[in-house]
Every structure is written in C-alpha cells, then in structure tokens.
Amino acid sequence: MPELPEVETVRRGLVPGVTGRTISGVAVLHPRPVRRHLPGPDHFAAALTGRTFAEPRRRGKYLWLPFTDGDALLAHLGMSGQFRLDQPGAPLVPNTRVLVDFDDGGQQLRFVDQRMFGGLSLSPDGAELPAEVAHIALDPFDPEFDPHEVVARLRRKRTGVKRALLDQQLVSGIGNIYADEALWRARTHYARATATIPTARALEVVLAAREVMATALARGGTSFDALYVDVNGSSGYFDRSLAVYGQEGRPCPRCGSPVRREPFMNRSAFRCPRCQRTPHGSSYAG
Ligand SMILES: [Zn+2]
C-alpha cells in the first residue's frame, strides 16, 4: 500500500506532466479501474475529453487531478496503481489500463495497475476537495496542519498511540511503516495510552511522523514489492533506511537491542524493546 511519501512522489511527478494540458482522448483498456464511474467506460472517456488539468493535489494518501472547470479526476492507487508518462505509441508495460492523450500530441498519461484495487473516477466539483476526501483529516505536510491541535485531540482519545496515529480522521497519511518509525524516533511504545501520554511526548511523536515522512519523500518513497514506481518508472528505495519497520531481529540503530515484531491490529508493530519499553498501567495492545 503506498503511503503519503509515495503518493506525494507521484503527485510531484505528475505536476509538470499534466498541468495545463487539455485531454484530446481517453482509451479505457480494462473496465475495472473505472468501475466507480457508474455510466461506464465509454461515458468516462467522453466525460474527460476536452477538459484541461490544473495542478495535481493530495491529502494524506488521496491524490486527485483537478480540472480547470472545477471538477476533478480522483486517483485511487490501491495496492499497485501507478501513473506513467510515455510517448504516444511507445510500447505498453504490462497491466496498462487507461491511456490519456493530449491535444499537444506530447507525452501520454498512462494508468497502470496490476491488482486493480485502485482506479480512476470523476469527482464533480472536486477540484478544491473531492467529497470522497472531505472526511479525511489534514496530513502533516498541509500548510494548515497544526500539531498542537492534533496532540490535544489525540490526548482526548481512549486508545493506544499507534492506533491514534493510524486514525485518518485525527491525522491523515500516516500508515503502518511511518507510525512505527515515528514511535521509535520518539522512544514511545505503540500501546502507550493516549489519555495519559504527556503533551510534550505526544508532540514529539507527531513531529517525528512528519520528519520521517519528509526523509522518505526526499529519497523518493519506500518500496517493498517493486510494484510501486514513480511516474518515470524508477522504484523508490527507502527500505534500507528504516530503523525498525521490517527489521525484526536486527539491531536497533540507537542501542543495538534486537528489534521485536509483535502482533498489532491483524498486522505487526516493530519496536526496540529497550528504547520503547512496555508502558506501565493502562495500555492498548493490538
Ligand atoms: Zn533501541
């Protein structure tokens, strides 16, 4: 699943590739990725043609390509969705699903998706903020993001700190990988109760999440299964820089203790047993 840095990498790649360009035609090669457009693939293609893209936007893991007329094309990357920009007529990579041509005859926008959990849909009036995204909280990179306000709301919850970080209505864009990395940086156990965590510690966790995602972004995102690539087709590679996520048994980069993997919400939590000690009193395990 792509996390915020991966999605932002894709967005940044799309900005110079689509902004200000007018669609001259759309070819839907497989109907599944446009299944959310209920009138069907032909209608989808016709509905996009003639529109001009404004600058692509993002909130959390949600990406949308606004049109200058106020509507937007919402992109669900799912598990394996990718965009590519290729010359028209260049060979298609496997699993290419949708082709978008422009009236300037330049690079073609291609949506590629192996597993097809993702897709594209038209969001009426969605240019500023699609209705599908409106319930999602601001992410740590949003200029209006206020870490103090997020900490205040986090501390009113009756849950564990990692669960709170993953709650997209509290703060968006933090997934399993960056939650574990942020908690490690802030020396905090994932099950630490939000109601009793000191404000300063909670702030440290939230700021660490922003920091670790900014680092990932600077490196082009994290890639584990090679399904994710940016718009130019190169894989992100941040996995070697992860301190605890996926590092079971390897030494903690800070103290050398072997990293532990523990069951959490049907997935895993990775932590250093010395830097992130089990909390006393109330805690919320997975
Ligand atoms: Zn440690």
* Catalytic site residue from 3, 6, 181, 204: 3
The rounded Å distance from CA 262 to ligand 1 centre is 16
DSSP string for residues in the chain? ---HHHHHHHHHHHHHHHTT-BEEEEEES-SGGGTTSTT-HHHHHHHHTT-BB---EEETTEEEEEBTTS-EEEEE-TTTEEEEEE-TTSPPPTTEEEEEEETT--PEEEEEESS-S-EEEEETT-SSS-TTTTTSPPPTTSTT--HHHHHHHHHTSSSBHHHHHH-TTTSSS--HHHHHHHHHHTT--TTBBTTTS-HHHHHHHHHHHHHHHHHHHHTT---SSS--B-TTSPBP--GGG-SSTT-TTSBPTTT-PBPEEEEETTEEEEE-TTTSPPPSSSB---
Give how far Cα 168 sits from Cα of 41, 61, 141, 196, Å.
31, 10, 14, 21
Task: Count other C-beta atoms under 10 Å from residue 130's C-beta.
Answer: 23
Burial of 38 from C-beta contacts in 10 A (0-12 / 13-18 / 19+): exposed
| 6 carries an active-site annotation | no
Q: What pLDDT score was predicted for residue 286?
A: 56
| 248 carries an active-site annotation | no
pTM recorded for the entire structure = 0.84
| 12 carries an active-site annotation | no
Question: Terminus-to-terminus CA distance in the chain, angstroms?
Answer: 20
| Residue (of 249, 248, 244) closest to 275 by Cα position | 244
The rounded Å distance from CA 190 to ligand 1 centre is 14
Q: Positive or negative CA dihedral for 37, 41, 43, 44? A: positive
Q: What is the pLDDT of residues 243-284, one digit of tens each?
A: 999 999 999 999 999 999 999 998 999 999 999 999 876 667
| 3 carries an active-site annotation | yes
The rounded Å distance from CA 266 to ligand 1 centre is 24
The rounded Å distance from CA 170 to ligand 1 centre is 28
The rounded Å distance from CA 255 to ligand 1 centre is 4
Confidence of residue 285 (pLDDT cuts 50, 70, 90): low
The rounded Å distance from CA 270 to ligand 1 centre is 11
* Catalytic site residue from 61, 97, 163, 185: 61
The rounded Å distance from CA 226 to ligand 1 centre is 29
The rounded Å distance from CA 242 to ligand 1 centre is 13
Please tell me which residue, 284 or 190, carries the higher pLDDT value: 190
The rounded Å distance from CA 256 to ligand 1 centre is 6
Q: What is the pLDDT of residues 58-95, one digit of tens each?
A: 999 899 999 999 999 999 888 788 899 999 999 999 99
Q: What is the pLDDT of residues 193-205, one digit of tens each?
A: 999 999 999 999 9
Mean per-residue pLDDT for 122-132? 96
Tell me how far the alpha carbon of residue 241 is from its chain's centroid: 18
